[in-house]
Structure 1
Amino acid sequence: MKTKKVDFLRDLYLDWNERMAANPNMSLSDLRSLFDEWEKATLEPENVTYTSDGIAGINSIWAIPINCDKSKVMIFTHGGGFAVGSSSSHRKLAGHVANALNMPALVIDYRRTPEHPFPAQVEDTTEVYKALLSSGFKAKDIVMIGDSAGGNIAVASVLKFRDLGLELPSCVIAFSPWLDMELSGSTIESNADTDALISPPIMKVMTGMFLGGDLSKARDPLANPLYADFRDFPPLYINASGDEVLLDDARRLYSRAKEYGVNVTLSVVDHMQHVFPFLAGREPEVDKELNRLSNWYENLSNIEE
């Protein structure tokens, strides 16, 4: 049986859907304000400070744990279907992950759709990565992380780094990644009744905005990493909920990376909602997941040493 704490995220998603249904002509500005409420699900992390910044001309928020290792950094690309979500909606989640990995997190406000369709998001993330390298960070000390659409961006950006001949980051972390722009995953239908947030109609609209209306790009590996060549890709950690429609995206990413010999881990937690780490500080199962992630990263660091 689900606990009340787990239901907090489900109830938030259901509330959003009710409000969107009641106002089918909701403006994009109002929709973005709605999704900035994502931060409500997350309790404030302990011993984390925040500061605003502009990296490579891109507004960002730093989440910096007290006494963390500032020689390392994670670039956090937020979710929200490429159109909504922001550094504000994700700063607390980033703070919890920053605590778990003992390093600062930089949550970037990449350009969003529909004003800026693909590949603007990958381009912005690439510029941030290059700027951090130029400022003195070593590639081996940079972690790429993102959730939902941001998980897509995190993965695709590393593919872009490789194509540009840049030294690659230490690892990539994807929470409930949305990867398949063809919307062909089996769990889109099988988990339709348990996912309180995502539905095929919403995904179709957001796909169209992301691709600028050009559905021929749906198989571009930088828009849909399920078609990517993962040779030489860094270690990859994926998590997802057993109840979400994007579960099959996570499973297929795991299988695709595995085919290319990537050191890849998939963590599926049952009876949770999309991007369940948003319940950090509120749900013990999320604390366990962040502990698994911390142990995974620590093991990687020990192997590199």
Structure 2
Amino acid sequence: MAGASDDIAVTPVDRAIARLRAIYRGWTRETSVVQMRSDWDAAFAGCSVPMSCHPLSAAGVNGEWLEPAGAPRDKAILYIHGGGFRIGSVASHRDLAVRIADASGCRLLTFNYRLAPEHRFPAALDDALIAYQYLRDQGLCPADIAFAGDSAGGNLVLGTMLAARDRGLPLPAAGALMSPWTDLAATGASYQSRAEADPIHQRAMIVALAKNYLGKDGDPHEPLASPLYADLSRLPPLLVQVGDRETVRDDSTELAARTKAAGGDIELQVWDGMIHVFQMFPEIPQAREAIASLAAFLRKHLHIDHERAPQ
């Protein structure tokens, strides 16, 4: 009976943490980055919501369209996956992207950008700019495009907006960020205050990923690599969701504070008891709530009237 009692005590967040730890436990110093990427893709394979998927290639960047039934043809979400700039792909983030597309009732484009250490900064950012240009080349107006991304993908959402703004390009309608990694220097107080609460992401790991992305002589305060240090004025409306257990929590709270100080429109949601990119785990009830909130934000700024219940 003790086993049955233990099962009752296990929460959906606990099960998500166990899934993550099972992946990381299989990795050693000898594990190749190719194997890590394959393991990550396999761990998050599958789709919890049926949806039409169409592969594409544009200027050397491969991706796919996710198309909910009845979605308007003149609107799109550009989704940028996370993975510390080292792992992650269309495959690993397909389920999360599908659930966002479904809840938003909007077509969504997700793509594979070049990863480090083979391709260091700014390769990933350059690929994100290519994907944004592709959407505009398809005849979509920037006001009918929204960005969304998680973790390193949230970093790239901001970096793409900043690069576009500084080049005089039109900006998208809005950006939705989940646990964005905005400070590659890892200066936030939450790296200490949440060290025990965060089951996976400790500061040493974050700093190592930053060096992997930037290179030995790269500057973690470079604004396009660490958007926290950028001029955050004149950006589209932003929504930021972050878990309170995250060591990278202050990457979000400080981003919100600095954006507001620059006169920007930003909404910050801190989710109690949640881990890094908890939205990836459909078994967590708060993940469904967060995606419903994120989808409402995207629909508002893309002027998509109908509301959809997330599955």
TM over 0.5: yes
Change (3 A) 1:18 1:45: closer
Q: Which amino acid in 2 is paired with 1:4? A: T
Preserved CA contact (<8 Å) 1:13 1:196: no
Distance between the aligned counterparts of 1:61 and 1:238, measured in 2? 25
How far off is 1:197 after superposition? 2.1
Residue 81 of structure 2 corresponds to 78
Preserved CA contact (<8 Å) 1:63 1:104: yes
Spell out, residue by residue over 1:230-282, the C-alpha distance to the aligned partner (whole angstroms, 9 max, x if none): 221000010010111110101011111111121101111111111011023x2
Preserved CA contact (<8 Å) 1:64 1:98: yes
Residue 107 of structure 1 corresponds to 110
- Give 3-state SS (helix, strand or coil) of 2:242's partner: strand
For the aligned residues, what is the CA RMSD? 2.0
Aligned with residue 174 of structure 2, among 161, 168, 171: 171
Q: Which amino acid in 2 is paired with 1:284? A: P
Distance between the aligned counterparts of 1:301 and 1:205, measured in 2? 37
Residue 241 of structure 2 corresponds to 239
Change (3 A) 1:254 1:11: same
- Give 3-state SS (helix, strand or coil) of 1:116's partner: coil
Identity over aligned pairs, percent:
32
- Give 3-state SS (helix, strand or coil) of 2:157's partner: helix
Change (3 A) 1:2 1:85: farther
Preserved CA contact (<8 Å) 2:143 2:302: no
Which structure's residues are more often helix, by fraction?
A: 1
Aligned with residue 55 of structure 1, among 38, 58, 69: 58
Spell out, residue by residue over 1:22-68, the C-alpha distance to the aligned partner (whole angstroms, 9 max, x if none): x221111111112224525xx73434221211123201122211111
Distance between the aligned counterparts of 2:258 and 2:59, measured in 1? 32
Distance between the aligned counterparts of 1:38 and 1:158, measured in 2? 31
Matched, 1:293 2:294: yes
- Give 3-state SS (helix, strand or coil) of 2:247's partner: coil
Aligned with residue 17 of structure 1, among 3, 20, 24: 24
Residue 213 of structure 1 corresponds to 216
Residue 272 of structure 2 corresponds to 270
Preserved CA contact (<8 Å) 2:195 2:202: yes
Residue 120 of structure 2 corresponds to 117
Distance between the aligned counterparts of 2:118 and 2:249, measured in 1? 28
Distance between the aligned counterparts of 1:2 and 1:290, measured in 2? 26
TM-score, length-scaled by structure 2: 0.90
Preserved CA contact (<8 Å) 2:278 2:284: no
Aligned with residue 35 of structure 1, among 23, 33, 40: 40
Distance between the aligned counterparts of 2:170 and 2:48, measured in 1? 32
How far off is 1:99 after superposition? 1.2
Residue 198 of structure 1 corresponds to 201
- Give 3-state SS (helix, strand or coil) of 2:92's partner: helix
Residue 249 of structure 1 corresponds to 251
Spell out, residue by residue over 1:131-156, the C-alpha distance to the aligned partner (whole angstroms, 9 max, x if none): 21112011011111111011101111
When structure 1 is superposed on structure 2, of 136-145 and 285-294 the one drifting more is 285-294
How many residues are paired up? 298
Q: Which runs of 5+ in 2 are unaligned?
A: 1-7, 305-311
How far off is 1:301 after superposition? 4.5
Preserved CA contact (<8 Å) 1:47 1:66: no
Aligned with residue 260 of structure 1, among 242, 246, 262: 262
Change (3 A) 1:2 1:61: farther
Distance between the aligned counterparts of 2:21 and 2:89, measured in 1? 20
Residue 285 of structure 2 corresponds to 284
Preserved CA contact (<8 Å) 2:144 2:302: no
Distance between the aligned counterparts of 2:9 and 2:139, measured in 1? 46
Change (3 A) 1:55 1:38: farther
- Give 3-state SS (helix, strand or coil) of 1:75's partner: strand
Preserved CA contact (<8 Å) 1:180 1:224: yes
Change (3 A) 1:297 1:76: closer
